[in-house]
Amino acid sequence: MVDKFVGTWKMVSSDNFDEYMKALGVGFATRQVGNRTKPNFILNVDDQGLICMKSQSTFKTTEVKFKLNETFAETTADDRKTTTVVSLDNGKLVQKQTWDGKETTLEREVIDGQLVATCKMGDVVAVRTYVKEA
Ligand code: DKA
């Protein structure tokens, strides 16, 4: 179930995110803003199982709506146009984005009441931690 991810989460730490963005191919100017930004991550699910996932910040707000295991089109904060699928794997919410023959995964899990987002691109890994706000 995705229930444990539901709510508003505020980012409190971000490790190796600049290297992750470089691996994605994000340019210098956007990386500077990305490194400074502390987004809120907001997840809701309706009674049909439609999940709404939003990343909200002064830099950019992005929102996707999807059902688990169903492919959808996503435009990311750095303007990649990806084919995305989100699944649950051992309690982790795993978002796989593919574009231009490349692939990255964003794995989110709740550990000790915190939401931990592990961003992987090749052998580059960034970890971002969020605490529950509401
Ligand atoms: C997260 O904290 C991961 C967000 C990944 C965004 C990648 C592109 C950022 C470009 C500013 O949920």
- How far, in Å, is the centroid of ligand 1 from the Cα of 90? 22
Distance 77 CA to ligand 1 centre (A): 7
- Is 77 near ligand 1, meaning CB less than 6 Å away? yes
Residue 93: the pLDDT is 98
Q: Can you name the CATH fold of 3-132?
A: Lipocalin (2.40.128)
Residue 71, token pair as written in the block: 């492919």
Q: Distance between CA atoms of 76 and 37, rounded to whole angstroms?
A: 15
Q: Whose CA is nearest to atom 1 of ligand 1?
A: 117
pLDDT one digit per residue (tens) for the chain, 134 residues: 899 999 999 999 999 999 999 999 999 999 999 999 999 999 999 999 999 999 999 889 999 999 999 999 999 999 999 999 999 999 999 999 999 999 999 999 999 999 999 999 999 999 999 999 96
To test the ligand 1 pocket, which listed residue (5, 19, 26) has its Cβ within 8 A of the most ligand atoms? 26
* Ligand 1 mutation target, pool 12, 22, 24, 124, most atoms within 8 A of CB: 24
Give pLDDT, residue 134: 62
- Closest to 130 measured CA to CA, from 61, 43, 44, 64: 43
- Kindly list the domain boundaries of the chain, sorted by start residue: 3-132
Query: Which residue puts its alpha carbon closest to atom 11 of ligand 1?
Result: 34
Most distant CA pair in the chain, distance = 41
Q: Look at residues 86, 84, 82, 85 and name the one whose alpha carbon lies nearest to residue 99.
A: 82
Tally of CB atoms within 10 A around 14: 20
Gap between the Cα atoms of 56 and 61, Å rounded: 4
